[in-house]
Amino acid sequence: MVIGNIDLGERPVMLAPMEDVTDASFRLICKEAGADMTYTEFVSADALIRNIAATTRKLEINPAERPTAIQIYGRDVESMVEAARIVETAGPDLIDINFGCPVKKVAGKGAGSGMLRNIPLMLEITRAIVKAVKVPVTVKTRLGWDHNSKIIVNLAEQLQDCGIQALTVHGRTRSQMYTGSADWEMIARVKANPRLKIPVIGNGDITDGESALKAFETGVDGIMVGRASIGAPWVFHDIKRALGQHSEPELTTARKFAMLRRQISESVDRIDEYRGILHIRRHLAASPLFKGIPDFRPTRIEMLRASDLASLTQILDKIEYEILPKHA
């Protein structure tokens, strides 16, 4: 699969952009685990223009994680174009436009998937950004606003006509948020459209090697993994094994623990001890490493309440060397 001059090879697997998740450290760990391309947390056009420090930090890219896309969102042409030009100076491999985020604070203001209720504006923004920058521009969106407006097949053509060089489709409507199941039949219809020439990347409910293989059966050019990577960056390793793209053995529990410990350490180094641990709690809470362990609830609560590195390390040591061996 090729986007612009970026050759991602056959059946690439990408890390989806996720707010408060896909920071630079996590992206690099996922890259090392097998992700073919990474995406930053989505960046607010308005905040970027106002030079908000927390937002501009999201533009930092480690050369080792490339190729990397920076994703932006907003609700008007002028600010989105200005933000795209600022982003271009940060040197991403491509700029992705977020027309898919379903959360109320974004979509409710007309940005993200809120644009699915204003297609003329969505297309105007897309055309203007493509014209304003030299790097490839892509779009990530959903099937439509709700069950009665699944417009993605026609919308994909319209976005292609605006000049985008790839399209990622999350197989849910905005109204679904993250409930129900992703509709891969609709994604397959997008890909099967003979008038669509750009690569199509499928997103939604890809959690392991088996679901990745099924996703590629729809004909998509690439797949994108989101929530399944939270607390489990090794999911890319597992998927690559299933696709036959590497022959490395399955990762041991010890190696998976090492990945989580690295995330904690780098989160603390990047921010500070207290906020770095707060940031990593989402990963610890979601990690499949701890699922199914009998009588684990008290230890889980203790782990998620730890507020300093020494305490958290001690709890993880207990889990890795005492609780997990007994569970196994």
Residue 322 has pLDDT above 90, yes or no: no
Greatest pairwise CA separation for the chain in angstroms: 60
Give residue 23's identity as a one-letter amino acid code: D
Q: Is the dihedral of CA 229, 205, 118, 167 positive or negative?
A: positive
CB 15 within 8 A of CB 236: yes
The chain-wide mean pLDDT, for the chain, equals: 96
Residue 43 has pLDDT above 90, yes or no: yes
**pLDDT given for residue 324 in this prediction:** 81
**pLDDT tens-digit readout, 99-157:** 999 999 999 999 999 999 999 999 999 999 999 999 999 999 999 999 999 999 999 99
Residue 326 pLDDT level (bands cut at 50, 70, 90): confident
3-state SS class at 34: coil
Q: Could you give the residue numbers annotated as active site? A: 101
Residue 171 has pLDDT above 90, yes or no: yes
**Distance (Å, rounded) from C-alpha 10 to C-alpha 14?**
12
3-state SS class at 219: coil
**Distance (Å, rounded) from C-alpha 224 to C-alpha 202?**
6
Task: Report cis status (omega within 30 of 0) of the bond before 92.
Answer: no
3-state SS class at 232: coil
How far out from the chain centre does Cα 194 lie? 28
pTM for this prediction: 0.95
Residue 167 has pLDDT above 90, yes or no: yes
CB 236 within 8 A of CB 203: no
69: which 2 tokens?
């896309």
**pLDDT given for residue 177 in this prediction:** 95
**pLDDT given for residue 328 in this prediction:** 58
The DSSP string of 37-103 is: BEEPPPEEHHHHHTT-HHHHGGG---GGG-SEEEEEE-SSHHHHHHHHHHHHHT--SEEEEEE----
How far out from the chain centre does Cα 231 lie? 13
**pLDDT tens-digit readout, 231-273:** 999 999 999 999 999 888 899 999 999 999 999 999 999 999 9
**Distance (Å, rounded) from C-alpha 49 to C-alpha 58?**
13
**pLDDT tens-digit readout, 196-226:** 999 999 999 999 999 999 999 999 999 999 9
Strands (E), the chain: 2-3, 6-7, 13-15, 38-39, 43-44, 68-73, 94-99, 137-142, 167-170, 200-203, 222-225
Cα 93 to Cα 6, 25, 30, 189, distances in angstroms: 8, 18, 17, 28
> What DSSP designation does 22 have?
-
Residue 169 has pLDDT above 80, yes or no: yes
* Contacts for 48 with CB less than 8 Å, ≥ 6 apart: 55, 56, 72, 83, 86, 87
The secondary structure of the chain in percent helix, strand, coil, rounded to multiples of 5, reads 50, 15, 35
